[in-house]
């Protein structure tokens, strides 16, 4: 049974586009540790975000948009929105 935070929450999960953020850090010659410091989060948490093992909180999404170098990317380039819930009729096969 998978008990990661992505599978236990009933809230929608926003995921960081880790490959795009890693590419941005590489272009800026920044390490993951430096990127985490810019966001005010731990290196461990930032690594989990980059790997898609943790969802983005609203606070971290705001920090991404407000802090360089991340602010160079748009919200659509930084994260994937959670999938929309299917309509109840569609889910039942009506």
Secondary-structure percent of the chain, ordered helix, strand, coil, rounded to 5: 55, 5, 40
Higher-confidence position of 16 and 87: 16
Among the listed residues 4, 1, 16, the one whose alpha carbon sits nearest the alpha carbon of residue 82: 16
pLDDT digits (tens, 9 = 90+) for 7-33: 445 667 889 999 999 999 999 999 999
Q: With left for phi above 0 and alpha for psi between -120 and 50, is residue 93 left, alpha or beta?
A: left
CB 38 within 8 A of CB 70: yes
- Render pLDDT for 66-80 as a digit per residue (tens, 0 to 9): 998 999 999 999 998
pLDDT at 14: 87
Q: Is the pLDDT of residue 3 over 80?
A: no
Cα–Cα distance, 94 to 91 (Å, whole number): 8
């Amino acid at each position: 049974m998978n008990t990661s935070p992505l599978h236990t929450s009933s809230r929608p999960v926003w995921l960081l586009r880790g490959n795009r953020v890693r590419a941005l850090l590489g272009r800026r010659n920044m390490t993951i540790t430096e990127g985490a410091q810019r966001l005010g989060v731990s290196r461990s948490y930032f690594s989990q975000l980059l790997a898609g093992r943790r969802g983005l909180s609203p606070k971290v999404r705001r920090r991404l948009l407000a802090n360089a170098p991340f602010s160079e990317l748009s919200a659509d380039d930084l994260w994937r929105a959670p999938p929309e819930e299917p309509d109840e009729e569609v889910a039942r096969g009506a």
